[in-house]
Amino acid sequence: MHVPYDTEKFYYGFPVYILAYPDEEVGVGITTGSSSYSLGQMVMIGCDSTTHAARSIKRSDVCSLNLFGAEAMGLFEYAGTISGGDKLSDTHVASSNYDGIPVLDDSQMSLVCRVLEATDDGTYTHFRCEVTARLVDSDLIDERGRFRYEELRTVEYVGDARRRIYRYFSEQVERFGTFVRAFKESLQS
């Protein structure tokens, strides 16, 4: 039975990532985020409108969304809680330039993005971006050139107004379509 759960916000599981963007003051800026979704060649990214990151991305119209695993927990929290300064240099994170867009070299995967539209909605900015490239760590590609899904180890952000936590991927993987036949059969019984 469902019961009402009154909270001003709820995060039901979103990948944690580091946004990298051109920064007029320090060269490359970084910040942590967890508000995104991807459809085809598009990714939507949400940011607090008052942040330096949101203003910089609006100015440059480019960024990269960089996915890391649990090894980057310190980086996630540092980049997301420290305001201003040269966080990239402070954290000794290597970056490179891909078509004029900064990418974090040690990420598992980077989505290279060009902003198509920035929409302000209250205190938030929604960036609708075209994914111009997907760059992946070579360890995530097998000898036949296929993606090794079971090796992707992103971290999820879950929580509400009271408490926020991180969740980690398990080793379990299943192919899409694995469950539908048995489920359909159970409906017949």
Task: Look up the pTM and report it.
Answer: 0.93
Give the domain CATH number at 164. Answer: 2.30.110.10
Within 10 Å of residue 27's Cβ, how many Cβ atoms?
12
Note whether residue 128 is domain-resident: yes
Looking at residue 137, what is its pLDDT?
97
Note whether residue 1 is domain-resident: no
Total of domains in the chain: 1
Q: Is the pLDDT of residue 31 over 80?
A: yes
Q: Is the pLDDT of residue 124 over 80?
A: yes
Note whether residue 2 is domain-resident: no
Confidence of residue 174 (pLDDT cuts 50, 70, 90): confident
Q: Is the pLDDT of residue 170 over 90?
A: no
Note whether residue 81 is domain-resident: yes
- Looking from the CA of 89 toward its CB, the CA atoms found within 13 Å total 8
Domain that holds residue 182: 10-188
Residue type, 51: T
Q: Residues with Cβ < 8 Å from 111, sequence gap 6 or more?
A: 38, 43, 64, 65, 66, 131, 133, 134
Note whether residue 34 is domain-resident: yes
Note whether residue 90 is domain-resident: yes
Note whether residue 57 is domain-resident: yes
Q: Each residue of 78-109: pLDDT tens digit?
A: 999 998 899 999 999 999 999 999 999 999 99
Mean pLDDT of 25-53: 96
Percent of the chain with pLDDT over 70: 100
Does an H or E element contain 185, and which? helix 180-188
